[in-house]
Chains A and B, each alone.
Chain A
Amino acid sequence: MMENNMAQATMGAKLDALPNKPGGGPAASGGIKLSSRDVRVFYGDNEALHGVSMDVMANEVVAFIGPSGCGKSTFLRCFNRMNDTVAGARVTGQITLDGRDIHDHAIDVVQLRAQVGMVFQKPNPFPKPIYENVAYGPRLHGLTSSKSELDQIVESSLRRAGLWEEVKDRLDAPGTGLSGGQQQRLCIARAIAVSPDVILMDEPCSALDPIATAKIEELIHELKENYTIIIVTHNMQQAARVSDRTAFFHLGDLIELGTTSQIFTTPKQQRTEDYVTGRYG
Chain B
Amino acid sequence: MSNLAVVAVLLVLVAVAYQIGLARSRGVALASGVRMHSLPRYHGLLVVLNAALPAIAVYLLWSLFGGSVIEAMVLASLPPEQIPADELQQRVVLQRIQNLASGFGMLGEAQAYEQAAAAYLQSLTTTGQAVTAALMATVAALGLFWSWRGTTPQTRARNKVERAIEIGLIACSAIAIFTTVGIVLSMLGETIRFFQFINPADFFFGTVWNPRFETVGTSGQEGFGLLPLLSGTLLIMIIAMAVAVPLGLMIAIYLAEYAPYHVRNVAKPAIEVLAGIPTVVYGVFALVTVGPFLAGMGELLGVNIRATSALTAGVVMGMMIIPFISSLSDDIITQVPKAMRDGSLALGGTKAETIVKVVLPAALPGIVGAILLGVSKAIGETMIGHGRRQLSGADGQPVRIGFHHHGVHHQPVDRRPGFRQPAVAGGLRPRTDAVRDDAGAQCHRAGGGAQVPRTIRVINDEPTH
- In the complex, chain A residues whose CB is within 8 Å of the CB of B343: 120, 124-126, 187, 190
B:337-370 near A, CB below 8 Å? 337, 339-350, 353, 357-358, 361-362
| B344 and A136 contacting across the interface, CB-CB below 8 Å | yes
Q: Is the CB of A126 within 8 A of B348?
A: no
| Minimum CB–CB distance for A69 against chain B, Å | 19
Binary CB contact string for chain A from 68 to 97 against chain B (1 if under 8 A, 0 otherwise)? 000000000000101001010000000000
Size range of the chain B interface in the assembly? 10 to 19
Task: Write out the residue numbers on chain B whose beta carbons fall within 8 Å of the beta carbon of A124.
Answer: 337, 339-340, 342-343
The reply to whether the CB of A122 lies closer than 8 angstroms to some CB of chain B is yes
List A residues 111-149 near B (Cβ within 8 Å): 111-114, 117-118, 120, 122, 124-128, 136-137, 140-141
CB distance from A133 to the nearest CB of B (A): 9
Inter-chain contacts of B361 with A (CB < 8 A)? 126-128
- With a cutoff of 8 Å between Cβ atoms, the chain B residues found around residue A127 in the complex are 340, 361-362
Residues A194 and B347 in contact, CB atoms below 8 Å apart:
yes
A-B CB pair tally, cutoff 8 Å: 64
Query: How far is A80 from B340 in the complex, measured between Cα atoms in Å?
Result: 17
**Is A107 in contact with chain B by the CB < 8 A criterion?**
no
CB distance from A73 to the nearest CB of B (A): 12
Q: Is the CB of B348 within 8 A of A140?
A: yes
Closest CB in chain B relative to A250 CB, distance in Å: 26
List B contacts of A137 (CB < 8 A): 347-348
Question: Do residues B362 and A110 form an inter-chain contact, with CB atoms below 8 A?
Answer: no
**When the two chains form their complex, are residues B362 and A118 in contact, meaning their CB atoms are under 8 A apart?**
no
Q: Which of A110, A112, A122 makes the CB contact (< 8 A) with B350?
A: A110
Once the chains bind, are B342 and A113 in contact (CB under 8 Å)?
no
A117 touches B349 (CB 8 A): no
8 Å CB contact of A141 from B261, B337, B341, B348: B348
Residue in A82, A128, A141 whose CB lies within 8 Å of B345 = A82
Q: Which chain A residues have a beta carbon within 8 Å of chain B's beta carbons? A: 80, 82, 85, 87, 110-114, 117-118, 120, 122, 124-128, 136-137, 140-141, 187, 190-191, 194
- Subset of 29 A-B contacts with CB under 8 Å: A82-B346, A85-B341, A87-B261, A110-B349, A112-B348, A113-B347, A114-B347, A117-B346, A117-B347, A120-B339, A120-B346, A124-B342, A124-B343, A125-B343, A126-B340, A126-B344, A126-B358, A126-B361, A126-B362, A127-B362, A136-B344, A136-B349, A137-B347, A140-B349, A141-B348, A187-B343, A190-B343, A190-B347, A191-B347
4 new A-B contacts, CB < 8 A, other than A111-B348, A190-B347, A194-B347, are: A110-B350, A122-B339, A127-B362, A136-B357
Give 9 closest A-B pairs by Cβ, nearest first.
A118-B346, A124-B339, A114-B348, A113-B348, A137-B347, A124-B343, A110-B348, A127-B362, A140-B349
